[in-house]
Structure formats: C-alpha cells, structure tokens
Amino acid sequence: MYLADETWPDLGDYFETESLALVPLGSTEQHGPHLPLATDHLIGEAFAREAADRTGYLCTPTINVGVSPHHRQFNGTMWVDAPVFRDYVESFTRNLAYHGIDRVIYVNAHGGNVEHLREVGRRLRDDEVLYAIEWMWDESIPDLVDDLFEQNGPHGGPKETAMIQHLRAELVHDDRLEDARDGGIPSVEAAETKKYGSRTFYDAADNTGNGVLGDQTDATAEKGAEMFEAATEQLVRLCEWLDGQAFDDLLPEPHV
C-alpha cells in the first residue's frame, strides 16, 4: 500500500489494524558519467514499494535528498546538512507515530544517510515514541554481491549499475561503462588515501576523478534482477519479524 495513493478514510482502516511503515530514502547525487543522480532514491523506493506490495504494509513517499556534501564538487549534487536531515526525518517519523505507527523501517540506499538514520532511531526509541531501524539493500546480501562482482564499488560501481539497469535501463548510459571504469578507481584502497590507520579523505573527489569506483563493465540487468529479488526477500522477512515483536520488547532496557 502506497500512502499517497490512498484516501484518508481508507488509510484509517490500515491504521486500525497495522502499525508498521516503510520509509524509502536515498539521495540526489552524482553517480559517475553513466548513472543518473536519482540512483539511490530510485533503488530505495523500488525496494520499499516491492516489499509493501508483497506484504500489504504501508510505504510512505520517498525522501529523495540526503546527506551528500562529500559529492558536492560534481554538477547537480544536492544535499542537506546532517543536523537538518536528522531533524527532518525525525519529524517525518513522529508524524507517522501520530497516526498510530509504532515501528518503522528506513529503506535506505545511500551510505551517507546511515549514521544519521541510526541517530534518529535512537532518539525516537529513547523517547519511547516508536522503534525505527535502518536497512541497506546491499548489506542484506553481502555474499551474493561479492560472488557477482570482482570489484563491486562501493559508489557508482557495478552493483548500483546493475540495479539501475534492472530497474530503469533507459537511464543508464551503457556506452560510458568503460569510461566510468577507466576514469575512476577500483577501490578506496587503490586511491591510497588511508594513511597509518587514518582516512585522510573527506570528499569523493579526493579519491576518484569521475566520482565512481569499481568495474562498471561487469554489470548486467540480469545481475541486478538477481540482487533485487534476493534483497527484497530479506526486507520482507525483516518486515515480518518486526511486525511480530511485542512493542515493549523493542524499547530500551531499564537501568540496572
């Protein structure tokens, strides 16, 4: 069920019987010369909508702009400052709690959002408003991703390329995959910006001239479809697990 497609009386029926919502999030940021800036939020929304279709749980509108200042040197990248993002997502989620939702899954497809979503989840849990957790599609299927790609990225690499080839093939510049590979770097390690245990880089541009990592020529729509199905199964299982928990068991443990 997609919230924005429903009428308010019909949503009342949902809130009377269910208490879980899926919130898709991503970013609008550079993904190299071959992928659209929408890559992350397209992926997050696709997973959230598919899981909602399979389970009947509620999917909210997508939060399309995230914490992406580390990509700012590349044309068109959009971002909000981290404190603003955290406050916005917290307010957005408290709105769901007002309607009766007491557990939320942030279906996230942007690494820059992770720590901030975890912080929002902690705030809401500590206040005993609701229980919110962050989910990343590729972290749900790490072995499959490693099996499919020799150099999987992380950013703008073959796993994201394959996923967009599967979801929105018309947005992928397949004629630029070799340029993406040759103008980027295989991995962060190859950039040699980790020094004596310290990450000396702050921006993507510190590591890679075209903004991406990995071997994009290893991507296919078929690999994207395989990952999409496997990760969707993981998300559906997470929904079912979370729905089955007693709310009191999700709250913080008492002081010892």
What pLDDT digit, counting tens, does each position of 98-117 carry? 999 999 999 999 999 999 99
Q: Are 71 and 34 in contact (CB under 8 A)?
A: no
The closest alpha carbon to 70, from 111, 42, 120, 26, belongs to 111
The closest alpha carbon to 185, from 165, 149, 156, 143, belongs to 156
Q: 10-residue block means of pLDDT along the chain (256 residues)? A: 96 96 98 98 98 98 98 97 98 98 98 98 98 98 96 92 98 97 90 90 93 96 98 98 97 94
Phi then psi for 249, rounded to 5 degrees? -75, -15
Q: Residue 187 has what pLDDT?
A: 87
The tokens describing 220, both together, are 């296919």
Q: Residue 33 has what pLDDT?
A: 97
Q: Residue 153 has what pLDDT?
A: 83
What pLDDT digit, counting tens, does each position of 212-242 carry? 999 999 999 999 999 999 999 999 999 999 9
Q: Residue 96 has what pLDDT?
A: 98
DSSP one-letter code for 253: P
The domains of the chain, with CATH numbers, are 1-147+226-248 (3.40.50.10310)
Q: Residue 152 has what pLDDT?
A: 85
Q: Residue 189 has what pLDDT?
A: 86
* Sign of the alpha-carbon dihedral angle for 89, 95, 98, 100: negative
